[in-house]
Amino acid sequence: MNEIKGTTKLCGLIGNPVEHSISPLIHNTLANLCGLDMVYTTFRVEAGNVDCAVKGAHALNILGMNVTVPHKQEVIAALEDIDPIAQSIGAVNTLVRTAHGYKGYNTDILGLARELEEEGVSLADAEVVLLGAGGAARAIAFLCVEKGAKHVTILNRTVEKAQAIAQDVNAHFQTQTVEAQPIDAYKTFTQEGYIVLQTSSVGLYPNSDKTLIEDEVFYQKAAVGVDIIYNPAETKFMKLMKQQGKPAYNGLKMLLYQGVSAFELWNDVQVTAEQAQEVYTLMKKELGINEE
């Protein structure tokens, strides 16, 4: 760890809870690898205190902030500026210091985009199925259309939530690429070779034996699956994909690369593939994930 001096820049995470976050490991390791005089810690912020926390952070000359649940929407009102895609998504997870306040970005989708690229999964001209219709699904639906997906189907138990996302994304891009369906609509699928992005919290530890769709037919028709959950390291969704001989990935690299993207924005640097891999190895060790 670098020595903390009077010149040391401070970054941090606001959310509630934050005590078990792996973000300090990511950013403090990156600061060491890049030789930067910066440290990163966490700040627990209660609901209703986000505006004063952000303004206080700016007054204290804090270089940048990450934002986690439940503040990704509330923080927008406290910003000086916002990246257009983050504005459209309606969620911000990274604050970059400007002269009079912070500019908000959504590096969650940047993180997923980099994970998909690294794993050789292209959204361009692809059939995509999203499982779930929460905040993550909303961001990922924007990413899919932005990257040129041919068609995106959002499957969710409450179809109205999926419809709201589809309407917003289609309106933003002036397209009809995204549609909403109830979960069991997969039974009527005629398409095959689709990319499945599991965006719900179903299957998150300790409910590791659950997933939204159990039917093996759904997985037989898929080409590849990505789960944004990283605990457990292999979810029930991933196991069902692999049982059909299909590649499946968890969300740990998405978490890595959203952090890398934020770090690059704050410090105006480019993190190398080797540096990112070193952080990834430490993340797996911290989480008790064995090497494959």
pLDDT band for 206, please (50, 70, 90 cuts).
confident
pLDDT at res. 227: 97
Q: Which helix (H) or strand (E) holds 40?
A: strand 38-44
Count other Cβ atoms within 10 Å, centred on residue 61.
9
> 58 lies in which domain range?
9-107+253-286
How many domains is the chain built from?
2
pLDDT at res. 3: 86
| Whether residue 102 sits in one domain with residue 14 | yes
pLDDT at res. 210: 94
pLDDT at res. 205: 87
The dihedrals phi and psi of 132, each to the nearest 5 degrees, come to: 105, 160
Please give the average per-residue pLDDT across 105-124, as a whole number: 96
Contacts of 83 (CB under 8 A, 6+ apart): 103, 104, 105, 106
| Whether residue 271 sits in one domain with residue 197 | no
pLDDT band for 142, please (50, 70, 90 cuts).
very high
| pLDDT score of 292 more than 90 | no
pLDDT at res. 1: 57
Which tokens is 152 given?
Answer: 């995106």
Asked, for residue 114, whether it belongs to a domain, the answer is no
pLDDT digits (tens, 9 = 90+) for 64-111: 999 999 999 999 999 999 999 999 999 999 999 999 999 999 999 999
Please give the average per-residue pLDDT across 25-44, as a whole number: 98
Question: Based on the number of CB atoms within 10 Å of its own CB, is 123 exposed (0-12), middle (13-18) or buried (19 or more)?
Answer: buried
Which tokens is 53 given?
Answer: 């926390």
| Whether residue 125 sits in one domain with residue 29 | no
pLDDT at res. 240: 98
pLDDT digits (tens, 9 = 90+) for 161-181: 999 999 999 999 999 999 999
Please give the average per-residue pLDDT across 133-159, as a whole number: 96
User: Are the CB atoms for 195 and 215 separated by under 8 Å?
Assistant: no
The dihedrals phi and psi of 278, each to the nearest 5 degrees, come to: -65, -40
Alpha-helix residue ranges (DSSP H) falling in 60-158: 84-89, 107-118, 135-146
The dihedrals phi and psi of 2, each to the nearest 5 degrees, come to: -65, 150
- Residues noted as catalytic: 72
Query: Rounded to an integer, what distance in angstroms lies between the CA atom of residue 144 and that of residue 127?
Result: 10
In b/e form, how buried is each residue of 272-283, taking b as 16+ CB within 10 angstroms?
eeebbeebbeeb
DSSP assignment of 198-259: E-SSTT-TT-TT--S---HHHHHSEEEEEES--SSSS-HHHHHHHHTT--EE-SHHHHHHHH
Question: Based on the number of CB atoms within 10 Å of its own CB, is 32 exposed (0-12), middle (13-18) or buried (19 or more)?
Answer: middle
| Whether residue 241 sits in one domain with residue 161 | yes
Asked, for residue 292, whether it belongs to a domain, the answer is no
Query: Rounded to an integer, what distance in angstroms lies between the CA atom of residue 177 and that of residue 163?
Result: 12
Q: Report the mean per-residue pLDDT for the chain.
A: 96
pTM listed for this prediction? 0.93
| Whether residue 129 sits in one domain with residue 240 | yes
Asked, for residue 115, whether it belongs to a domain, the answer is no
pLDDT digits (tens, 9 = 90+) for 229-280: 998 999 999 999 999 999 999 999 999 999 999 999 999 999 999 999 999 9
Asked, for residue 192, whether it belongs to a domain, the answer is yes
pLDDT at res. 291: 56
Please give the average per-residue pLDDT across 119-131, as a whole number: 97
CATH number assigned to the domain comprising residue 200: 3.40.50.720
